[in-house]
Amino acid sequence: MRVGQEVQALPRPVGLRAFINPGVRPEAVPAPVPDARAFHAGLDGYAPTPVRELSPTVALKDESSRLGLPAFKVLGASWAVERALREQPDARLLVTASTGNHGRAVARVAALRGLACRVFLPSRSVAARREAIAGEGAELVVVEGVYEDAVAAARADAQRDGVIEIADVGTSGPAHWVIDGYATLFSELDRAFDVIVVPVGVGALAAAAVRYAAPRSMTVIGVEPGTAACLSASLAAGKPVVVPTPGTTMSGLDCAEVSPAAWPSLRDGIHGMVAVSEGEVHGAMRELAAAGLTIGDSGASSLAALRALENDPACAELSEAVGFEAGTRVVLIGTEGATDPVGYESRVRT
């Protein structure tokens, strides 16, 4: 099977390690919304992020510096805030839930728009990410529990006049607008690729990836921690399901369930999934550091997945199904820089 063709339907996961989506239908994936690119281009400091060459056939979209922040999230946050304020111009407070990067992005945008911001974080969020959000002027609320508990708390807080929840998960308008905002990242790709390897989390970025890829007959492979493989489980079940999340250094991917806003695009457009371990990701971080690139845990998961597709017999069936072979042109999405500097150093220097 050649890259970009429909993946053969299989009735089961290919073990815990890799999964072939049995229901992929690229023709059913909606087209990207183009409006955000022009909006982003008008922001101070906007420039396309670089595509770094790792080999003659593999490149990495480096999101370690995006509009002054060390992650891609500000693309979705800025567009979602813009769209929300068009509908609620009298809003005075933005609220959101986050494990770090999304919350900081919303806080930055709120300050730029002259709005207050409140960010709800799970209790296991890293101190450096909390401090970065507070440094943007936001109020922090630490919620006992996991990310989904923070999401519920933010949603409840938003049920007041003058308050908007800028969520990247759920069914709200902002959850859809975040996906639309991420379209800018893929529209910046300056050459043709056969495969996109993208970290998943709640799925908003991956949904933008499949919307970009579908009309171009590109293959999209998603990456999840083995401890939070909610999209793989949902694809296997044929509907969104909740998985336990004991925790991972890939904090941006530490999600128990897929966003309903992203699910239809992912169900129809993602070709397969690879689950990666922390050890593999830390090795990928070191490999990238040796190449002069500072990419954090969640961002390095894409390289860890590529190495698994290349070398692990447990991924051989997936590799064959999507036509992955020598010469396949691959772009990895490196979603963040060293957003936890102390943790980053400890993992890269090990």
Delineate the domains of the chain, giving CATH numbers in brackets: 18-72+176-348 (3.40.50.1100), 74-170 (3.40.50.1100)
Q: What CA–CA distance (Å, rounded) separates 202 from 154?
A: 16
Check residue 10 and give its pLDDT. Answer: 36
Check residue 343 and give its pLDDT. Answer: 96
Low-confidence ranges of the chain (pLDDT < 70): 1-15
State the distance between the two ends of the chain, measured CA to CA, in whole angstroms.
Answer: 40
Check residue 160 and give its pLDDT. Answer: 93
Global confidence as pTM: 0.94
Residue 117, helix vs strand vs coil: strand
Check residue 310 and give its pLDDT. Answer: 95
H-helix or E-strand containing 333? strand 330-334
Structure tokens at 24: 């992929």
Check residue 326 and give its pLDDT. Answer: 85
Structure tokens at 258: 């897929």
Check residue 330 and give its pLDDT. Answer: 98
Q: How far is CA 125 from CA 147, 230, 261, in A?
A: 9, 19, 24
Q: What is the greatest pairwise CA distance in the chain? A: 56
